[in-house]
Amino acid sequence: MKKVYPVTSLVTGLFVLSLAALPPAATAGGMRSYRDDANGVKKSGKLRADHRRARNVILFVGDGMGISTVTAARILEGQLRGENGEENLLNFETLPNVALSKTYNTNQQVPDSAGTMTAMMTGEKSKAGVISVDQTVTRGDCVSANGHELLTFLEEAEMVGKSTGVVTTTRLTHATPAATYAHVPERNWEDDHDLPAEAVTNGCKDIARQLIEFPYGNGLEVAMGGGRRNFWPRSEADPEETSKTGERDDNRNLSKEWVSDYPNAAFVWNQTQFDAIDPAKVDHLLGLFNRSHMQYEYDRPNDIAGEPSLAQMTAKSIEILRKNKKGFFLMVEGGRIDHAHHAGNAFRALTDTIEFAKAVKTAREMTNNDDTLIIVTADHSHVFTMGGYPTRGNPILGKVIGNDSSGNPEPGYKLAKDGMPFTTVEYQNGRGFAFLATGGDTRYGVPINTGRVTDLTDIDTEDQGFHQEALVPLSSETHAGEDVAIYSGGPGSRMFHGVQEQTIVYDVMDKAAGINHEFLRENRE
């Protein structure tokens, strides 16, 4: 039976953001926690007390949304309105408090999403590839994870009676959303078919099953994204891609179980069903809008059955979650920014970032800055660069036109030493140039083509099918290891400042909401 913890025993008294309120930098047994033991809150001494309590917390994660991505998306959004672009600001860039976040995993200088989201959701850095378990766990080893699960902020929110939600454009079982509710030593264990025999024997549960069997509070109120295949059995055809089936071997349809497990519950898989949901009547909503990941924003209008935008899912989630007078926690991920970068398609990475900013705008308009903490950040960056000295207002996805000696735009493209033009945005590694008629992911079906092998003079580099040049040939473009930005507003947001460990995201959410995480972790069941 799911246990609801009494709020009175778990919530701290008067909320004062002070240096003494921050957690120590080491855990029991001497294992380093990688909290802010340098250049962080404890060494600042300049923070003003904030007596407001965050009744609601919304965490926005732009997967792979490094600072170069934010800058380029800012310019593109402005240029789509007919402006030069450079002077534009994405909505979340107007939030009042900004910091930089150090993204490394405990075993990798350049991180993956599993380890980084674990840091943000649990306050502890961990290894690449593991989800909400500590750094002592061996990746892929079920037994090693036993007893090493890290309580997440979403779980804590449920334990104190808040409503919770997870929204993403990836599969709901992908690394970033999974880290809010699941605990596994292998990020790829998305359904039971992915589990090795050792894991099955030793009782490890796949990620999709952990979402449905969530043990805290009264369960998640909202979960929306892609990934139907991980929730449906092989015996059932997908309703949209009818020639394909689910992937579960246990013959369970977890979406049906969601509806039967909760009162006033609903399951939707297309735009029409989503639009028909009345938030006043639905208390638990599961939306699985694609068999795998949802569409990129540019491709969304062409989806077979139709699917909602990230902003629409954010709005619907808030309408359901805010019915709880105790407040809510919502995590919203712009997950396909990352996928477009991996494919080397800047167009889709930037247009998905623009939609992500619209989702933030929606949340800010629907909530009150006095009782809602909003955090916008990335889990990591990408090797996505912007350079070449283009003139002001040069199309961000275009070829570089420079300035002459008088500072005026030159009449033609700037040429490299090989005599060919080049683009403002490029990738340091990846699959390289391609010009395709269809979406970003089709790049994987075309041979690697790195370096300066094609004259771009007559190629429309602003087209959605253009994939940027890359230097180092790899099967997929990689993450980058530089710091990412944190933008925030609302109660507790002043704690973000300077350069901080990524675990600060959890610490600020925890303190701003007034949750006694130490009590919860000692008394969890």
Catalytic annotation, residues: 113
Q: What is the DSSP string of 107-129?
A: S-SS--HHHHHHHHHHS----TT
**Nearest to residue 394, comparing CAs of 84, 82, 74, 87?**
84
Q: For the chain, give the number of residues.
A: 525
Residue with token string 């089936």: 245
The whole-angstrom separation of Cα 137 and Cα 106 is 11
Show the tokens assigned to 490: 């609302």
Asked whether 66 and 382 are in contact (CB, 8 A), the reply is yes
Whether the CB-CB separation of 98 and 489 falls below 8 Å is answered with: no
Long-range interactions of 126-129: CB distance < 8 A, separation 24+: 126/150, 129/186, 129/187
Pairing, β 372-377 against β 484-489: antiparallel
Find the helix or strand (DSSP H, E) in which 76 lies. Answer: helix 67-80
Picking from 220, 135, 112, 189, the residue whose alpha carbon sits closest to that of residue 479 is 112
What is the DSSP code (8-state) at residue 24?
P
- How far lies 273's CA from each of 297, 323, 410, in Å? 19, 21, 53
The neighbour count for residue 197, using CB atoms within 10 Å, is 7
Instruction: Give the rounded distance of the alpha carbon of 521 from its chain centre.
Output: 25
- Write the Ramachandran bin of 62: left for phi over 0, alpha for psi from -120 to 50, otherwise beta: beta
C-alpha span between 365 and 69 (Å, rounded):
24
Phi first, then psi: give them for residue 207, nearest 5 degrees.
-65, -45
> Could you tell me which of 333, 331, 274 has the C-alpha nearest to residue 305?
274
